[in-house]
């Protein structure tokens, strides 16, 4: 009798040890609803009565209707956070095959795999559905559509900005053009004045200066005399010194052109230097006083 009772007792103790109890909490599926063939992550918190040692099975069971991809076990004090990644191939509720995870065998885990077929409906073919979109597709689409819709406005805005900027650049270019042309003329005169007859020198000099001043005072000065230019300069309220310098230049040149005064080569050089200074001062004045 003793020979029978002892093995039976040992068997029951062993059975009791192997059938340790555990509870599953916070069971979650990502995604919450999944279909046949979807990759699903099943996670839960495993609580046990006693301390157990859990480990990932070396070989996952292969029942055919499900494929285990991976399993993570993360201790949380005496509990364990377990994540199992799997792909179900059968719709409906099914229990997972037992998973030997160290001291415990997880054998009461169930999953529900949704079916795209409505079980209550007829077996006829469903209507064609639009393809499933990956998350964010709609947002990106909306963004693209709004961009496309706002594109004309953006283009118009850009066009206006570019036009305004280009206009400003062109205006500035045109505004400064007479000064640059006059400077070029002065440089050309300086290069060629060695062989230039005296009268030609002064004619081209005053011609260029009058043309330049015409653009600055918005009045054709080619038909104006020195006294008329003087009156214009006084009316324009430019600085008195500047006006006097300009009038003085014209008066000196008038004496050469009409009174037959002789001026040396160095005088010509000096005259060109003076007119460069005066025109530069006039440009600075103009930039400060836009109404000039």
Q: Which residues lie near other proteins (CB under 8 A)?
A: 199, 203, 220, 222-228, 254-255, 257-260
Across the strands, what pairs with 80? 46, 75
Q: How far apart are CA 51 and CA 29, in angstroms?
A: 26
- Closest separation in Å from C-beta 246 to other proteins: 16
Q: Which residues pair with 92 in a beta bridge?
A: 113
Q: How far apart are CA 242 and CA 253, in angstroms?
A: 17
- Rounded to a whole number of angstroms, the minimum distance from the CB of residue 229 to other proteins is 10
Quick check: 208 and 186 in contact, CB under 8 A? yes
- CB nearer other proteins, residue 64 or residue 258: 258
**Closest-CA residue to 283 (of 185, 210, 187, 177):** 177
In the complex with other proteins, the residue whose CB is nearer, 210 or 286, is 210
Residue with Cβ nearer other proteins (36 or 203) = 203
Q: Which residues, 6 or more positions from 212, have their beta carbon under 8 angstroms from its beta carbon? A: 178, 179, 181, 182, 279
> CB-wise, 74 or 220, nearer to other proteins?
220
Q: How far is the CB of 227 from other proteins (least distance, A)?
A: 5
Q: How far is the CB of 265 from other proteins (least distance, A)?
A: 22
Among 84, 17, 11, 85, CA closest to 52:
17
Closer by beta carbon to other proteins, 224 or else 236: 224
Query: Contact at 8 Å (CB) between 83 and 71?
Result: yes
């Amino acid at each position: 009798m003793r020979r029978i009772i002892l093995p039976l007792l040992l068997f029951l103790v062993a059975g009791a040890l192997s059938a340790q109890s555990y509870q599953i909490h916070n069971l979650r599926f990502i995604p919450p609803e999944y279909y046949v063939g979807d990759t699903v992550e099943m996670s839960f918190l495993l609580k046990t009565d006693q301390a157990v040692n859990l480990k990932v099975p070396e070989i996952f069971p292969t029942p055919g209707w499900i494929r285990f991809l991976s399993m993570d076990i993360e201790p949380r004090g005496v509990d364990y956070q377990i994540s199992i990644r799997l792909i179900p191939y059968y719709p409906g509720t099914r229990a997972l095959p037992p998973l030997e995870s160290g001291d415990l065998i997880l054998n009461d885990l169930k999953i529900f795999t949704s079916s795209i077929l409505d079980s209550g409906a007829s077996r006829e073919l469903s209507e064609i559905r639009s393809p499933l979109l990956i998350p964010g597709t709609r947002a990106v689409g909306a963004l693209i559509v709004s961009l496309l819709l706002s594109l004309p406005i953006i283009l118009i805005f850009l066009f206006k900005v570019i036009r305004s900027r280009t206009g400003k650049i062109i205006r500035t270019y045109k505004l400064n053009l007479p000064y640059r042309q006059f400077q070029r003329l002065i440089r050309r005169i300086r290069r060629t004045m060695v062989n230039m007859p005296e009268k030609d020198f002064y004619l081209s000099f005053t011609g260029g200066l009058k043309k330049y001043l015409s653009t600055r005072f918005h009045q054709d000065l080619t038909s104006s005399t020195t006294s008329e230019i003087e009156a214009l300069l006084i009316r324009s309220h430019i600085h008195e010194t500047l006006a006097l310098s300009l009038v003085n230049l014209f008066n000196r040149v008038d004496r050469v052109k009409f009174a037959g005064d002789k001026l040396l080569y160095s005088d010509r050089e000096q005259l060109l230097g003076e007119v460069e200074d005066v025109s530069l001062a006039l440009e600075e004045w103009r930039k400060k006083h836009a109404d000039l």
